[in-house]
Structure 1
């Protein structure tokens, strides 16, 4: 699998990443082992997790698999910290919480360091320089090799990345931002992606298949074994089952038929090759699904199909984001 630099850093990652959101919850140890082995054998390196996935269970399961299934040195392990199960405060970006969370993650993962450590979300109750200082401490101590953020808005990303660049050699450059991005969700193109491109921050798209909807499996009904049919994930999928989404899925299916590939391949290739994207994160439930996704490696969409998909899925960007020549 092709490797890409993550932002303007020396860290290289596979251009498809493996997500672990359902590990230790809907995905058991045997299924997780199959996923990790298929991913590794295909040349995949980037494995993304978080301290809150299955209340730490996903990290623990990944660490357990690293003991004998896949060499630690072959993987780029990314995890996140900052989300808390507290209705009064959903995110905690304080130095104390973040560094304690990192130590707990390392213990569950059974490793001395993570390759990429990400702040899971912006915390408005903590000064940003304190949050970023925790990233600096993690990297300077060797517990993290690189640092990133997740779910930051455009101005939050720009402020954080600029702060880190203001003292080169002292502060840690932000390598990445993880955000939802697909043909069904192009909101990052408004401010986040332009800021990331300008500041050298690589984008790691989550839900690149539109929460599974872009595979086309929901076109006529909700499969009983799908996330859309589960009590836990149905509300996650529901926003992408409207008429606008259906038009986009129809266009993806038409393109797939013309190329003799699956809708999954078209949707994944589109987001993988967007400007600024380093690696979409795939959350496959089975090794068969993952194998199908990884077979996109040799596909590049023709320009005319990219333009058609761009047009049918184009978000509405009005003032002040539109081209001033149109005013």
Structure 2
């Protein structure tokens, strides 16, 4: 698997990242261990998790596997903070205190003294300057090697990068990016490119829709049939999305590859993308993504896919 620099930093990450959103909830410890083992054997290093995944259960499960399945120093751990747990449920909170408390809890669950990359999620009620101060403190305290943002707008990326100059700098932005969601191309990707920030693309398979599994029906064991994930998939089960899926399936047939591989190859080839984070419920599903490294899409297929999925842009982008 290819390894790439994360923006202008010296940190290198695998072109595919292993997402853990389903761990400890839909993915048990045995499947998680198999996923991690297969991922590392394929050359993967980037492990993406969050304090919010399964209320910390994903981090805790990953922590039990470090040192057992893989050596801690052989992987790049990325986790996120910004949702605080309360008796009434999750509350968005990217204030300095909440973020630093969350990081300490993440380190305990992960059974490590530092994370390689720590990302903050948006909080409209907290000034970005305060959120950024927590990111800087985490690096200064040695609890995070690099820091970044998750799901922020282009202007927020630019502002955070400015506030973090010259040290420690903004290393990464994690955002949804796929043939079904290209909104980051309007402002986020240009900001990242100009400022030397690496993009981590989450849900590069269009929340699973680009695999083609939903073309005729909703499989009973799929995310779209899950009580807690159906709403996550539903926005892409549309007529417009169906046309994109048909084009991906046609391209895959012509290349004798799977739609999953074509969709992933498209994302990983985009300028500025350091890694595409793939989440799978089972190890068997993950294996389907691990063989994409050798696929280079022919220019004519890239152009065709670009033409049918280019996001609309107008003032002030154009």
TM-score range, shorter chain: over 0.9
- Tell me the residue number matched to 2:227: 231
Residues 221-249 of structure 1 deviation map (CA, whole Å, 9 limit, x = unaligned): 11111111111111111110101000000
- Tell me the residue number matched to 2:300: 304
Q: 284, 309, 314: which one pairs with 2:310? A: 314
Contact 2:3 2:13 (8 Å CA) reproduced: yes
Contact 1:122 1:156 (8 Å CA) reproduced: no
Q: Which runs of 4+ in 1 moved over 4 A?
A: 85-89
Q: Which runs of 5+ in 1 are unaligned?
A: 323-327
- Tell me the residue number matched to 2:2: 2
Contact 2:55 2:85 (8 Å CA) reproduced: no
Residues 305-324 of structure 1 deviation map (CA, whole Å, 9 limit, x = unaligned): 000000011111122223xx
1:97 Cα shift?
1.0
Q: Which has the higher strand share?
A: 2
**TM-score normalised per structure 2:** 0.97
- Tell me the residue number matched to 2:245: 249
For the pair 1:84 / 2:80, whether they are aligned, the reply is no
1:204 Cα shift?
0.4
How many residues end up aligned between the 2 structures? 317
SS in 2 for 1:318: coil
- Tell me the residue number matched to 2:33: 33
User: C-alpha distance in 1, partners of 2:216/2:125?
Assistant: 45
- Tell me the residue number matched to 1:12: 12
Residues 16-72 of structure 1 deviation map (CA, whole Å, 9 limit, x = unaligned): 000000101111100100100000111100000001110010000000011311111
Q: 270, 277, 282: which one pairs with 1:281? A: 277
Contact 1:208 1:281 (8 Å CA) reproduced: yes
SS in 2 for 1:27: coil
1:102 Cα shift?
0.7
**TM-score normalised per structure 1:** 0.94
| RMSD of aligned residue pairs (Cα, Å) | 1.3
1:89 Cα shift?
8.3
1:1-327 to structure 2, matched below 5 A, reads 1-85=1-85, 90-119=91-120, 121-165=121-165, 168=166, 171-322=167-318
Q: Which runs of 5+ in 2 are unaligned?
A: none
User: C-alpha distance in 1, partners of 2:27/2:284?
Assistant: 14
1:125 Cα shift?
2.1
